Every structure is written in structure tokens, then in C-alpha cells.
Amino acid sequence: MDFEPFRDGVFVDSELGTTPKELPIVYIENIPHNIESGKRPKGGATLKGIPSIGAENIKGLGYYDYSKTKYIPKEYAQTIKKGKINGYELLIYKDGGKPGYFIPNFSIFGEGFPFREMYINEHVFILDLMDNGYNAFAYFYMHTPYIMNQFNSNGGKAAIPGINTKDVECLPIYSKESPYVKRFGEIVLPFIKTILSNSLENARLAKMRDTLLPKLMSGKLKISEIEI
């Protein structure tokens, strides 16, 4: 879709409508950002090493399926310069699915969830807007119908559904200089931190359950012997 220029400091678009001056709109390509994807070594993933996050685990905030985890060798991870997840970047499902059918998914990792050290593979984008609060805002903004339709339209055109860097960078987004956007980030960021921390704790408890349950079932560990 073509966007008309700003008019007297106000952004005007036939579908988005007119935005107030307190909510200026910019394009991602025109603001500080970093977007990159990762890769895996020749021969693919390994059974152990450093977690390599694929599109199958970009399912939303606080979600991660540990049974689908794949790895890259530690030595290989130390040689690659892109694709490391530091925390609170926006993770975007990049490609995959059925021909003509593309539904993007997004996530944010952090607080050690799902891992302390991890990298993305070539099917995932990291988008960092250089501000955790702004990244948090972008996570919810990307779920709006307008942006989802943009991704659906662009991603479904290829024989192998997917989006490229330009598809992300050409998107309009409310400026982080807006007091409303700043306030949104300030309010939401602590909630995201709590979700990620709780998700990590849930994963630890699940691992503990899976470790203890076989011993309980076999009688090797008895509840009556546990002191509280």
C-alpha cells in the first residue's frame, strides 16, 4: 500500500486514517534498529550444544516447546556474528508454511527464558528497536490487523511463503518519541518481565516434576520420607 506524505505534521492514509500530532508515524527503516537472521552449520542442527531457535518456537510471549529444541555446536556459535538473542528483542517468524498462506508469529525472550544463551536460525528475524520499552510496544503493535494484513499479503506471494528484511523495514510504526508510546512501554515492560520470569520458573518446575515422577511411580522415592 502507498502512503501519502505527512501533512502539517499529521500522517494521513486512506486505511489508517488521520493520526494526531501526539502519535507521529515513522517507518522502521528510518529509525535506529537492527534486523538480522541467524544460521546453522553445514549439515544442520546437532543433538547438543547451544540452543538454536527456529520458527517452530516463535509462538508468542511466554511460550516455548522444549521438546522441539535444536542445537548448534558451541565452537560454531562462537564464530557467527549474527543471530544471538540478548533478550527483549522482537522475534519474528520469517518463512515457512503452505504456498499462498503465511501467518506471522512474534515472540520476546529474556530473563533467562527459555535459555541463558541462544541463537536464531535462518527462519527467524531478530528486530531490535534499540529500546526495550519500544520493543515491547512493537510486539503488540505487530499484532494489529493492519500490520498482520501487510505481512499476510507480502508473505503469501512467494512460492515458499515468507517475508524479507524490506517487508519489515517498510512498515509504519508510531514513533517512540510519542509520550503515549513511551508510557505504554513503561507500563507493559514490567508485566513482560514477570511473564518471562514465571515462564522460566514453570520450565524449572516441569523439569523437576519429570525427574521425580518416575522415582515416585517406581517407589524409589516415597512422599512419606520427604520432610517439610
Residue 42 has phi, psi (to 5 degrees) of: -60, 130
Using one digit for the tens of pLDDT, what is the confidence trace for 39-58?
999 989 998 999 999 999 99
Region 3-19: mean pLDDT is 49
Residue ranges and CATH numbers for the domains of the chain are 21-182 (3.90.220.20)
Nine cell digits for residue 201:
520458573
Region 204-214: mean pLDDT is 85
- Percent of the chain scoring above 90 in pLDDT: 69
Quickly state the pLDDT bin for 208 (edges 50, 70, 90): confident
pTM for the predicted model, two decimal places: 0.84
57 CB-near residues (< 8 Å, 6+ apart): 63, 64, 65, 68, 69, 107, 114
Quickly state the pLDDT bin for 15 (edges 50, 70, 90): low
Instruction: Please calculate the CA angle 27-167-83 and round it to the nearest 5 degrees.
Output: 95
Residue 159 has pLDDT above 90, yes or no: no
Using one digit for the tens of pLDDT, what is the confidence trace for 27-36?
999 999 999 9
Region 149-154: mean pLDDT is 90
